[in-house]
Amino acid sequence: LEDIDYTFAVISDTHGKPREDLMGLIVNTNPTFTAIVGDAINSSSDKNYTTFFDRISPLSDIAPIYPSIGNHELVGDRDLARWRSVWTLPGNEMYYSVNTEDICNIFLSSKIDHQPGSAQYNWLETTLAEDDSPFTFIYMHYPPYSGGGSETELRSSLVPLFEQYGVDVVFSGHRHGYEHNRVNGIDYIVTGGGGGELRNASVKDFTIKKEKVNNFINVTVDVDSNKVGIQAIRNDGTEIESFVLS
């Protein structure tokens, strides 16, 4: 993009040990916020959260952190109480939206009931229906489409809403590596390379790009031209790929 008004970062699956090289790269982009798409920690314990917040401090010291709930954050009911005690987030803190200029950022919990008629589903449908932003991004831990294993339940519950209301990008983690998948005009980005052990993903008919690598996503926004740049970056600072939404 020629004129960048602001940037933000997306990362996932740090598992309580965010990589220092990725933290440094993200800090250098001067993000407006950083989204962590689940499994920020490895287990929902006070000790694990303390270690995580200490290691993520280079980012949290300069900009807000917005997380989605992953399977490692929410195993039992007490884990949800701990989540709410350590994070201060908008809405009910389990699913919420953050509007930045040109983008409606919607954070969902794929670990909490999302079937049609559920509270989360109804909230999402209302939020999407009222959204008049040029771009709409979804952040949730489980990927509806992945070469490492798709969450097909999400395809029947939430994907129809994404398609009906013109969601542009869905950011997910859970699968440890990088994937760019595209289905019915929606880009599904898996950025599960924040610190957990890397794993392979297969090539599917919806695969655009995949790589077994630690990574993060750098998002750049040009408000005047209504353009958003999506850049996937390896932990050595080199580019995996990039594309522009307009």
In a structure prediction context, what are the per-residue pLDDT tens digits for the chain, which is 246 residues long? Answer: 889 999 999 999 999 889 999 999 999 999 999 999 999 988 878 888 999 999 999 999 999 999 999 999 887 767 888 999 999 999 999 999 999 999 999 999 998 999 999 999 999 999 999 999 999 999 999 999 999 887 889 999 999 999 999 999 999 999 999 999 999 999 999 999 998 889 999 999 999 999 999 999 999 999 999 999 999 999 999 999 999 999
- Is this prediction's pTM over 0.85? yes
In Å, what is the CA distance from 28 to each residue of 7, 32, 46, 59, 220?
Answer: 11, 12, 30, 10, 13
Name the token pair of 2: 């020629």
Q: How far is the C-alpha of 163 from the C-alpha of 183, rounded, in Å?
A: 9
Give me the half-sphere count of Cα atoms (radius 13 Å) on the Cβ side of residue 23. Answer: 18
Cα of 16 vs its chain's centroid, Å: 16
